[in-house]
């Protein structure tokens, strides 16, 4: 672990260059975020007026700051960044986060300014995250450099590397408000003028606080180095990548976003597979897969069982499972007999499990609970999806039986999804997820997640 990565993700002291007392301005929101997350280190601001802002001391110039500051976050407009970088270097501040946009992602003049910035970085000997980033998050250090209003960020075991600074803003707010998992580290690379995905991936690979790593990239700055690092990390932790710019139109959008030129997608696909990186194709999967990895194990294989309140779902989700690389295998005879004992005689029980008749005969918790326990106990099954049917008329069960079964079978993931009254589905999700059971609002989503994680498992155990 390099000293720069420590100063970036585990700082003991930080300076906010462009601190502001005006509510809503980046230099003010940033100070509030640092305070709200309980950062225990020293915090200083720089503003020509001096004084105090949000309880932190403010110095009029960079030169007046105390010595030995680990990190500076620069919220000044783009044109002031080269000179500010030089001033921070002269002060001995080695790790910098540059928030401003207006560089090569904008136009030719922005490109020239970025060239000047690159020269300032080289001359000063500093290391830089950004520019064009909302910043980064490091919850084991109770710290963020984000200037997007966040409040307290929940801590967890999932880390992100993203070539969009707004992941430390808008996307993180989505996680905080719509999902029930926390993060360890989040790095918004922005234009990655200096620090890139390979260096941060190497750090996260050794980070005991990080259990899984998800990436969004529009290009890979040093492909050979990235593949070398990824090949090591993917033997220890899931590494999952969403690659933007794979289509011609997407490549043009990437160029406008972070001045990135996308690589040849076919060559990239082969290299990523060889390095053990699992590729995804939906932005929402950055959250859906993270939610599963945050609380459940990676499944031991691709064999799934699911409980369905509808014969149509047993057919459609079997087809969909196979399209995701999953197997819906036959179950052991003793498992089948156990399921059959719950069902009316006119329903022949098998995998997938048609649970509707059993619920009518024995009630929700008994039927679902016993059936779940049966398939979870079957050696032919690696994971179970439960399709809940929740309506006011059919009665709303106590969901603790699902939590209890998850604890009884800790090596096999359980995912819940729904069909029924939306209000009850939302309430069930809100109950289960803080207790360690992921829930998905659309019925295909858990099967998509299992398909990705089955590929992760294969990557983790690929031949050497």
Lowest-pLDDT choice from 8-22, 79-93, 257-271, 291-305 = 257-271
Q: What is the pTM of this model?
A: 0.94
Q: Which tens digits make up the pLDDT trace of 48-63? A: 999 999 999 999 999 9
Whether the predicted pLDDT of 243 surpasses 60: yes
Percent of the chain scored above 90 by pLDDT?
86
Q: What is the 3-state secondary structure (H, E, C) of 391-459?
A: CCCCCCCCCHHHHHHHHHCCCCCEEEEEEECHHHHHHHHHHHHHHCCCEECCCCHHHHHHHHHHHHHHH
Q: Report the pLDDT averaged over residues 397-421.
A: 96
Nearest in space to 2 (alpha carbons), one of 221, 205, 226:
205
Q: Report the pLDDT averaged over residues 94-118.
A: 91
pLDDT recorded at residue 2: 81
Q: Which tens digits make up the pLDDT trace of 274-327? A: 999 999 999 999 999 999 999 999 999 999 999 999 889 999 999 999 999 999
Whether the predicted pLDDT of 347 surpasses 50: yes
> Cα–Cα distances in Å, from 9 out to 50, 167, 184, 209, 247?
27, 16, 10, 11, 34
How does residue 252 score in pLDDT terms, banded at 50, 70 and 90? low
Whether the predicted pLDDT of 409 surpasses 70: yes
Lowest-pLDDT choice from 92-96, 270-274, 317-321 = 270-274
pLDDT recorded at residue 257: 45
pLDDT recorded at residue 284: 96
pLDDT recorded at residue 384: 98
pLDDT recorded at residue 262: 47
Q: Which tens digits make up the pLDDT trace of 209-219? A: 999 999 999 99
Lowest-pLDDT choice from 207-221, 349-363, 388-402 = 388-402
Q: Report the pLDDT averaged over residues 226-246.
A: 94
Reported for 145-148, long-range contacts at CB under 8 A and 24+ positions apart, including other chains, are 145/14, 145/30, 145/71, 145/73, 145/97, 145/99, 146/30, 146/33, 146/172, 146/188, 147/26, 147/27, 147/29, 147/30, 147/33, 147/73, 147/75, 147/99, 148/29, 148/33, 148/172, 148/173
How does residue 266 score in pLDDT terms, banded at 50, 70 and 90? confident
pLDDT recorded at residue 254: 45
According to DSSP, the β-strands at 71-74 and 304-308 are unpaired
pLDDT recorded at residue 394: 76
pLDDT recorded at residue 263: 54
Diameter of the chain by CA atoms?
83
Report which of residues 166 and 118 the model is more confident about.
118
Whether the predicted pLDDT of 180 surpasses 70: yes
According to DSSP, the β-strands at 304-308 and 383-390 are parallel
Cα–Cα distance, 231 to 395 (Å, whole number): 50
How does residue 253 score in pLDDT terms, banded at 50, 70 and 90? low
Q: Report the pLDDT averaged over residues 439-449.
A: 97
Mean pLDDT of the chain: 94
pLDDT recorded at residue 246: 67
Domains of the chain: 3-293 (3.40.50.261), 297-460 (3.40.50.261)
pLDDT recorded at residue 346: 87
């Amino acid at each position: 672990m390099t000293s720069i990565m420590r100063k970036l993700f585990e700082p003991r002291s930080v300076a906010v260059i462009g601190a502001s007392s005006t509510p809503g301005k980046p230099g003010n929101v940033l100070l509030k975020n640092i305070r709200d997350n309980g950062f225990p280190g020293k915090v200083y601001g720089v503003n020509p007026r001096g004084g105090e802002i949000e309880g932190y001391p403010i110095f009029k110039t960079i030169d007046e700051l105390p010595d030995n500051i680990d990190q500076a976050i620069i919220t000044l407009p783009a044109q002031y960044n080269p000179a500010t970088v030089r001033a921070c270097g002269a002060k001995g501040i080695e790790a910098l986060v540059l928030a401003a946009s207006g560089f090569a992602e904008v136009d030719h003049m922005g490109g020239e300014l970025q060239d000047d910035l690159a020269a300032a970085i080289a001359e000063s000997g500093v290391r830089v995250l950004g520019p064009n980033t909302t910043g980064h998050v490091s919850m084991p250090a109770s710290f963020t450099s984000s200037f997007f209003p966040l409040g307290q960020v929940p801590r967890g075991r999932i880390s992100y590397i993203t070539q969009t600074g707004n992941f430390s803003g808008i996307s993180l707010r989505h996680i905080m408000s719509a999902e029930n998992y926390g993060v360890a580290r989040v790095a918004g690379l922005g234009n990655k003028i200096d620090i890139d995905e390979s260096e941060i991936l190497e750090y996260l690979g050794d980070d005991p606080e990080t259990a899984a790593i998800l990436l969004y990239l529009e290009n890979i700055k040093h492909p050979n180095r990235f593949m070398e690092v990824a090949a090591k990390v993917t033997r220890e932790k899931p590494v999952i990548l969403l690659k933007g710019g794979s289509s011609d139109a997407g490549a043009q959008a990437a160029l406008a976003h972070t001045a990135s030129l996308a690589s040849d997608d076919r060559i990239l696909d082969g290299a990523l597979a060889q390095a053990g990186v699992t590729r995804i194709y939906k932005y929402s999967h950055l959250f859906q897969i993270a939610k599963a990895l945050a609380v459940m194990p990676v499944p031991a294989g691709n064999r799934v069982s699911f409980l369905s309140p509808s014969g149509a779902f047993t057919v459609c989700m079997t087809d969909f499972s196979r399209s995701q690389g999953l197997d819906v295998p036959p179950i052991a005879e003793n498992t089948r007999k156990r399921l059959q004992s719950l069902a009316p005689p006119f329903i022949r029980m098998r995998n997938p499990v048609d649970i509707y008749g059993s619920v009518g005969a024995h009630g929700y918790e008994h039927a679902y609970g016993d059936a779940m326990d049966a398939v979870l106990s079957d050696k032919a099954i690696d994971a179970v999806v439960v399709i809940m049917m929740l309506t006011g008329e059919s009665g709303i069960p106590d969901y603790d039986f699902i939590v209890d079964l998850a604890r009884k079978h800790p090596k096999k993931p359980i995912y819940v999804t729904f069909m029924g009254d939306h209000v009850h589905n939302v309430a069930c999700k809100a109950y289960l997820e803080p207790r360690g059971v992921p829930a998905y609002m659309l019925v295909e989503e858990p099967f998509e997640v299992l398909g990705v994680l089955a590929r992760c498992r294969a990557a983790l155990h690929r031949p050497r």
